[in-house]
């Protein structure tokens, strides 16, 4: 008797050596290196190299990789034109998905096992996704796109393309660390979606646009925005306890809390909280951060007994909001980071590809007669 596992929960979909999670101890490693070490010492692009190729780069290899990314940040004017045609009230994830799919028309990459195709499409995607996100952010407000600067690091360049101002190095460092923390997380829904697409030998732009579509859903990449909306709804520190008690009594979940795998505080939330403390020590505490700390304190008191603690989305929204980003752009920052993980899984899948073609358990009818339309009664 075959058993159905809804959501494929607990069913391994692939062998992978890219990342590892232990939800009981709060361990997350990329290629065997703890996330705390990477957050403290690495950069997003160095971590991306590690995820893609399995080793930390030498100085020469890192300089080459970073240089290649910096030189490929610009997008074709026709991609900008495409973005200009999109409705300004649309969701930024839809704009990103459309533009990434369109990139594949400019850079044909059908020979996916060719090493050159693999390298340059990886570089292009990592380089151009932030440019697309920033371009849509400006164009939807009626402003001109700002061209990337190849003298700036990854996070500084992104913030520059959003605001036309080179950011304070601390803010850029905080964003870069957020990107490291969101870059990869084992077999999540968007990675699986990208893998299924990769297994058909579709080009990498199609793989990444599939993954972006999956990440958009509120059960995956949308929780950061909802966490900030919840904090704004709470409004004041005095209202935290009554709000949470009421919400839990109504069987509603506390946003930014709980995780399918982590039964202790998400290690990424621990690092993000430290980053928030550094940021607010320099800039003064924001009312939103004060609220977040109180929500975490009360949430812990009420939910920790059930193994429910703050997750990665809890503090990242507060940080993004402090950087001046709009709530509906939070998932695109997630995508800017996770593109590294998706591409690492794409490369891994191609080493030993097998088309995903799962089975189903059919529970419908058999052998029914076709009834002509004039003899059908009722029905749907």
Ligand X SMILES: CC(C)(COP(=O)(O)OP(=O)(O)OC[C@H]1O[C@@H](n2cnc3c(N)ncnc32)[C@H](O)[C@@H]1OP(=O)(O)O)[C@@H](O)C(=O)NCCC(=O)NCCS
Q: Classify the C-alpha dihedral 249-251-256-262 as positive or negative.
A: positive
> For ligand X, which is the closer residue by CB, 72 or 309?
309
Phi, psi angle pair for 223, to nearest 5°: -70, -25
Given a contact cutoff of 8 angstroms between Cβ atoms, the answer to whether 340 and 126 are in contact is yes
Q: Applying CB under 6 A, does 256 fall inside the site for ligand X?
A: yes
Both tokens of 182, joined, read: 């969101």
309 in active site? no
Q: Applying CB under 6 A, does 221 fall inside the site for ligand X?
A: no
Both tokens of 273, joined, read: 């909280």
Given a contact cutoff of 8 angstroms between Cβ atoms, the answer to whether 55 and 107 are in contact is no
Q: Applying CB under 6 A, does 255 fall inside the site for ligand X?
A: yes
The interface region with ligand X, picked from 171-179, 283-291, 303-311, 326-334 by CB under 6 A, is: 303-311
Contact pick of 61, 91, 138, 253 for ligand X (by CB under 6 A): 253
In whole angstroms, how close is the CB of 170 to ligand X at the nearest point?
26
Given a contact cutoff of 8 angstroms between Cβ atoms, the answer to whether 75 and 128 are in contact is yes
Neighbours of 89 (CB within 10 A): 7
> For ligand X, which is the closer residue by CB, 303 or 336?
303
Q: Applying CB under 6 A, does 231 fall inside the site for ligand X?
A: no
Q: Applying CB under 6 A, does 297 fall inside the site for ligand X?
A: no
Phi, psi angle pair for 89, to nearest 5°: -95, 5
111 in active site? no
The interface region with ligand X, picked from 25-33, 36-44, 93-101, 248-256 by CB under 6 A, is: 248-256
Q: Applying CB under 6 A, does 65 fall inside the site for ligand X?
A: no
Residues 358-377 that bind ligand X (CB under 6 A): none
Q: Classify the C-alpha dihedral 78-127-101-325 as positive or negative.
A: negative
The interface region with ligand X, picked from 76-84, 169-177, 254-262, 360-368 by CB under 6 A, is: 254-262
Q: Applying CB under 6 A, does 28 fall inside the site for ligand X?
A: no
Contact pick of 104, 204, 258, 317 for ligand X (by CB under 6 A): 258
State the number of binding residues for ligand X (CB under 6 A): 16
Q: Applying CB under 6 A, does 225 fall inside the site for ligand X?
A: no
DSSP 253: P
Contact pick of 47, 118, 177, 311 for ligand X (by CB under 6 A): 311
Q: Applying CB under 6 A, does 178 fall inside the site for ligand X?
A: no
Given a contact cutoff of 8 angstroms between Cβ atoms, the answer to whether 335 and 129 are in contact is yes
Question: How far does CA 111 lie from the centroid of its chain?
Answer: 27
Phi, psi angle pair for 150, to nearest 5°: -85, 0
Alpha carbons within 13 A on the beta-carbon side of 34: 8
Contact pick of 178, 208, 312, 333 for ligand X (by CB under 6 A): 312
Phi, psi angle pair for 143, to nearest 5°: -95, 160
**Which residues are 228's β-sheet partners?**
none
Q: Where along the sequence are the contacts to ligand X (CB under 6 A)? A: 223, 248, 253-260, 303, 306, 308, 311-313
Tell me the catalytic residues: 259, 313
């Amino acid at each position: 008797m075959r058993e159905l596992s809804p959501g494929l929960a607990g069913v391994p979909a692939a062998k992978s050596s890219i990342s590892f999670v232990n939800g009981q101890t709060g361990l997350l490693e990329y290629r065997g290196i703890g996330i705390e070490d990477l957050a403290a010492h690495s950069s997003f692009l160095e971590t991306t190299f590690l995820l893609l190729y399995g080793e930390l780069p030498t100085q020469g290899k890192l300089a080459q990789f970073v240089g290649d990314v910096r030189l490929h940040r610009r997008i074709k004017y026709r991609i900008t034109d495409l973005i200009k045609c999109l409705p300004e009230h649309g969701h930024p994830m839809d704009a990103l998905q459309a533009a990434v799919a369109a990139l594949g028309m400019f850079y044909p990459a059908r020979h996916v096992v060719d090493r050159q195709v693999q390298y340059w499409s990886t570089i292009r995607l990592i380089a151009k996704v932030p440019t697309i996100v920033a371009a849509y952010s400006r164009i939807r407000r009626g402003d001109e796109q700002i061209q990337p600067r190849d003298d700036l690091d990854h996070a500084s360049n992104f913030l520059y393309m959003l605001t036309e101002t080179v950011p304070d190095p601390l803010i850029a460092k905080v964003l870069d660390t957020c990107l490291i923390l969101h870059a990869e997380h084992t077999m999540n829904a968007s990675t699986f979606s990208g893998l299924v697409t990769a297994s058909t030998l579709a080009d990498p732009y199609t793989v990444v646009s599939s993954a972006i579509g999956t990440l958009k859903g509120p059960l995956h990449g949308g929780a950061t925005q909802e966490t900030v909306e919840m904090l704004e709804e709470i409004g004041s520190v005095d209202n935290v306890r009554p709000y949470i008690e009421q919400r839990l009594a109504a069987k509603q979940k506390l946003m930014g809390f709980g995780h399918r795998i982590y039964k202790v505080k998400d290690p990424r939330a621990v690092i993000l909280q430290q980053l928030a403390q550094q940021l607010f020590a320099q800039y003064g505490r924001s009312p939103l951060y004060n609220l977040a700390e109180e929500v975490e304190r009360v949430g812990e008191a009420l939910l920790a007994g059930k193994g429910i603690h703050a997750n990665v989305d809890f503090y990242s929204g507060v940080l993004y909001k402090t950087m001046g980003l709009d709530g509906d752009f939070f998932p695109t920052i997630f995508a800017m980071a996770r593109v590294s993980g998706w591409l690492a899984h794409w490369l891994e899948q191609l080493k030993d590809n097998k088309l995903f073609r799962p089975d189903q358990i059919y529970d419908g009818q058999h052998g029914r007669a076709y009834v002509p339309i004039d003899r059908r009664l009722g029905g749907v």
